[in-house]
Amino acid sequence: MTATRPVVWAVVRDLGRTGVPIALARLATWPATSEAVDLHLIARHDGPLRTELERAGIGVTALEPADGRSRAATVAAGASHLGRTDAGAAVLGAAWRRRIRNLPAPDTVLVQGAGAWPVAEALRAEAAPRIVVHLHELEVAVRRSIGPSSLPSLAAADQVLAVSEPVASLARSLGVPDDRLSIVGGTVDLVSSAARGRTDVVSVGEAGWRKGTDRAVAAAHVLRRREPTLRWHWIGRALEPGWAFAVDAPLPILHHAPVADPWSVVHEPAALVVPSREDPLPLVALEAAARSVPVIACRGAGGLDGLLAEGRGWLVDPTDPGDLAATVAEVVAARPTAGPEALRDHVERHHTLEAVGPRWLHALTGGT
């Protein structure tokens, strides 16, 4: 007689091709997942990952379109503008609950990232199931997504999974006890090592303060004067126009619009540069490691300090654009192999689906 699989609702903010939903998609489509749980994915906003998930046989409910708002969300926004935030939230929550009324009752609700917390709260049943939170954020993002009144509920979750040790430290500071806290990092598929170029370095992400795009611009100006043949590419949301004139010079970074596979934009990267101020464990760093591409990052941003420790990568002074530029130039010129290969080996041991997946499923099933 076949045992009944526990029902899991996985709640995520959106289905875009960014780190948090991609991390969920990789674990959700892992073959062992369908054997262990009956998974139903619920996203606040639709997006391109939906097709991939449904192709893998996973049921997906998008509560809002990828762009714009539903009628209920428009009503809620209007109520909030008039100071009736609670009334608006009640309208929106009721509309969302109607959308999922035909789903089987969950044994576990997985909250994928802090951005999904408001959605999970709106959907929570009166007879609350187990709550598992997979945190992919540090303090700025957590406090932006989860209001002060909800932080005690986060601390009371049945299980909190942290994508890196700095995220785990934040969870402890918010009141999550160690016996309900574990590290479940990002995953990546190992691929053939990328061909190494000599002229192109790459940064990937949504441009802005958190990703340190201004640091990249400052360092790229220095690098252009030092090594004019090197090209610095940024793949992601467009840079702010004002940065092009910050030092009365053309922008020294080549911008590319977001794409499903950023590694298809620059075919032979000499290095990946991650200038972030706050980055728990960027997926692109794991992808670079899987390709034996050197990774350079600013010290103190989050999980990269541990990932790149023991000679696996290069960590620079976050306050010194000259240090970042010099390190980029040195790494590109030296074409090192020891650090990138050590990082690839580390990722193979700690960040493949076979390494991460069992811990994730253990949390979803409560160890059953």
Written as six digits, the tokens of 109 are: 């609700």
Positive/negative CA dihedral, 216, 217, 222, 226 = positive
Of residues 207, 209, 347, the one with CA closest to residue 278: 209
d(CA 158, CA 366): 9
**Beta pairing, strands 253-256 & 271-274:** unpaired
Give the three-class secondary structure for 309: coil
Residues in the chain predicted with pLDDT less than 50, given as ranges, are 1-2, 126
d(CA 188, CA 202): 18
What are the sequence ranges of the domains in the chain?
7-187+353-365, 200-349
CB 329 within 8 A of CB 223: yes
CB 274 within 8 A of CB 298: yes
pTM for the model stands at 0.91
- pLDDT, position 315: 97
| Fold agreement (7-187+353-365, 200-349) | yes
d(CA 119, CA 205): 24
Mean model confidence pLDDT for the chain: 90
- Tell me the pLDDT tens digit for each residue of 196-251: 788 999 999 988 888 999 999 999 999 999 999 999 999 998 776 766 655 566 78
d(CA 274, CA 293): 13
Of residues 27, 290, 261, 214, the one with CA closest to residue 136: 27
CB 321 within 8 A of CB 222: yes
Give the three-class secondary structure for 325: helix
CA 285 to chain CA mean position, Å: 11
- pLDDT, position 1: 35
CATH number of 200-349: 3.40.50.2000
- pLDDT, position 42: 97
Architecture, CATH, for domain 7-187+353-365: 3-Layer(aba) Sandwich (3.40)
CB 357 within 8 A of CB 187: yes
- pLDDT, position 62: 95
